[in-house]
Chain A
């Protein structure tokens, strides 16, 4: 602002910055970029001139997309500063609820690089570095590092799963606390006592379930001994499976649900395709089937070999929003996430089996593969 003379009636104001008109403001706020379609998907470099040209165009486009001026309200954003040494963003000012982001340490809230970048992209965070505001373009280099690393894929997975509606947190290795004694533990202990003459451990004897289960098993034994053997009915086969014409859903009804947590996580040692053995045609011809039942499932015994360390790394844990997630005392997660880059082969039976046998995970494993085109696809494993 500048005043020319005191005599003049009019005061002329010359702003130091040029301001955008309201129309321009709105136009900039919702600037949309369309991705140019590139025809068929290709996965390998050919190095031809036309390809280089195309790559340059794509890079220019990306640059333009990233460096477009972004219009945001100054308020309504949290403020954080990037700590290069510890590779975390320290939150200086919160805005609104921070719910599931960040972790507290000595009264300060810190954001991981992926959390900071995610909030930055959502426009919820203003990141500063040595007192200067960091642009999104700069943040990519600052937070993910200049060199190629797993950070970028980790961020992609974090961002995709967060947007899908999961609470994504850094994987916490399971704590070595003894599991509380369940009914199933009592049953197993009793079975071992009867079949293998093992002693029942004291912690199981102390459980309130122990006496109840002991009694139930005695009753069941009586029932089994005294029951009449039923002849299989020759008339018609009863088929109990439901034949739904609809597409399979993610949460089909389970076939069986083992009670103890350890059993739930590990299906090792059981075949996944044994269901047809309950069919009438199997029981009728059981002798014939057994005659050529000579190729067996491989059973791995890792109890004797403690040194087989799995090469798989669990990066994130997934929680669901409506299951009362608490940052301070999280429930067991719904999934453990293993991230695969496009070059990596899928984990084999051995890899998964090792991780299961060492109880390194706390939930079902979700293998998330990031393809060459940065698409994200999740896979579930079932192993024998």
Chain B
């Protein structure tokens, strides 16, 4: 039983498919972002557009996907994991805190941990998947941590619903929980990807994340009835 993954193209063919996975910042212009207490906002419309068009980062404050409403006051919201990635790993984003200074990694980490105590684990998974060329979006609408897309959410349906687990708390291996997310994911033709993060210690610098190791588990419902019937023909 070999593994194949779902990857369904959306039914719109007129979309521009010439895109790059990362924003182009070769001219040295760094993107300016502002931490709001919940997320990071990009106010400059051209920077917001460049972030969304190249790598599909963030979400327009007045749109379903990228900033598309055309209103002047529309900003781009970046999630905590993606802003951390852009600022401290890709190094193209400056995040200013509410008082006006530029935040360093430790300060950002502390604020992010206040919002989500599993931030480091989530960040590890984000980096892990990002390094494999996935476009990563919040998975809250399907009850998981992330949704991962091939190329862009406007071209493909999400292939996986990602759930982040730590080895000490395997909540999602409980029968009821696993069957729950499994059903939700299956009706929208996704697979559930359980990532278990093994973090040996707390981190202080971006590079220290390399101690972290990840295991992947995909549990798929198997229709034993149709399988045997398909083999009988």
Interface residues of A (CB under 8 A from B): 161, 164-166, 237, 241, 243, 245, 247-257, 267, 271-277, 279, 281-282, 284-285, 288-298, 320-322, 340, 342-350, 352-353, 364, 366-367, 369, 371, 377-384
User: Would A248 and B189 count as touching, CB distance under 8 A?
Assistant: yes
Q: Which residues from chain B contact A279 at a C-beta distance below 8 Å?
A: 133, 150-151
User: Would B127 and A380 count as touching, CB distance under 8 A?
Assistant: no
Q: How many residues of B contact A (CB 8 A)?
A: 67
Q: Which residues from chain B contact A379 at a C-beta distance below 8 Å?
A: 182, 219-222
CA separation between A358 and B182, bound complex, in Å?
A: 28
- Residue ID in chain A nearest B194 by CB atoms: A349
CA separation between A346 and B216, bound complex, in Å?
A: 14
Between-chain CB contacts (< 8 Å), 29 pairs:
A165-B228, A165-B232, A248-B189, A273-B216, A279-B151, A281-B21, A281-B133, A288-B22, A289-B133, A292-B90, A292-B131, A294-B209, A295-B124, A295-B209, A298-B198, A298-B213, A322-B232, A345-B170, A345-B173, A346-B174, A347-B173, A353-B215, A369-B179, A377-B221, A379-B220, A379-B222, A380-B220, A380-B222, A382-B220
Q: Which residues from chain B contact A297 at a C-beta distance below 8 Å?
A: 213-216
User: Would B215 and A382 count as touching, CB distance under 8 A?
Assistant: no
Q: Which residues from chain A contact B133 at a C-beta distance below 8 Å?
A: 276-277, 279, 281-282, 289
Shortest beta-carbon distance, B13 to chain A, in Å?
Answer: 11
CA separation between A383 and B3, bound complex, in Å?
A: 10
CA separation between A295 and B164, bound complex, in Å?
A: 14
CB-CB contacts of B4-15 with A at 8 A, as 1s and 0s? 111111000000
- Residue ID in chain B nearest A368 by CB atoms: B224
Q: Which residues from chain B contact A272 at a C-beta distance below 8 Å?
A: 3, 5, 193, 216, 218
User: Would B230 and A250 count as touching, CB distance under 8 A?
Assistant: yes
Interface of B, helix, strand, loop or mixed by DSSP:
mixed
User: Would B129 and A281 count as touching, CB distance under 8 A?
Assistant: no
Pick the contact of A273: B134, B182, B219 (CB < 8 A).
B134
Shortest beta-carbon distance, B83 to chain A, in Å?
Answer: 14
User: Would A294 and B207 count as touching, CB distance under 8 A?
Assistant: yes
User: Would A295 and B128 count as touching, CB distance under 8 A?
Assistant: yes
User: Would B3 and A255 count as touching, CB distance under 8 A?
Assistant: yes
**Does B132 have its Cβ within 8 Å of any Cβ on chain A?**
yes
CA separation between A345 and B194, bound complex, in Å?
A: 14
Q: Which residues from chain A contact B209 at a C-beta distance below 8 Å?
A: 294-295
CA separation between A379 and B192, bound complex, in Å?
A: 12
Q: Which residues from chain B contact A255 at a C-beta distance below 8 Å?
A: 2-4
CA separation between A292 and B129, bound complex, in Å?
A: 11
Shortest beta-carbon distance, A267 to chain B, in Å?
Answer: 7
Q: Which residues from chain B contact A366 at a C-beta distance below 8 Å?
A: 222, 224
User: Would A298 and B214 count as touching, CB distance under 8 A?
Assistant: yes
**Does B201 have its Cβ within 8 Å of any Cβ on chain A?**
no
Q: Which residues from chain A contact B232 at a C-beta distance below 8 Å?
A: 165, 320-322
CA separation between A135 and B46, bound complex, in Å?
A: 80
Interface residues of B in 17-39 (CB under 8 A from A): 17, 19-22
User: Would A273 and B215 count as touching, CB distance under 8 A?
Assistant: no
Pick the contact of B210: A295, A378, A383 (CB < 8 A).
A295
Say whether, besides A257-B2, A340-B175, A165 and B229 are in contact (CB < 8 Å).
yes
Say whether, besides A289-B131, A348-B196, A295 and B214 are in contact (CB < 8 Å).
yes
CB-CB contacts of B142-179 with A at 8 A, as 1s and 0s? 00000010110000000010000000001001110011
**Does B16 have its Cβ within 8 Å of any Cβ on chain A?**
no
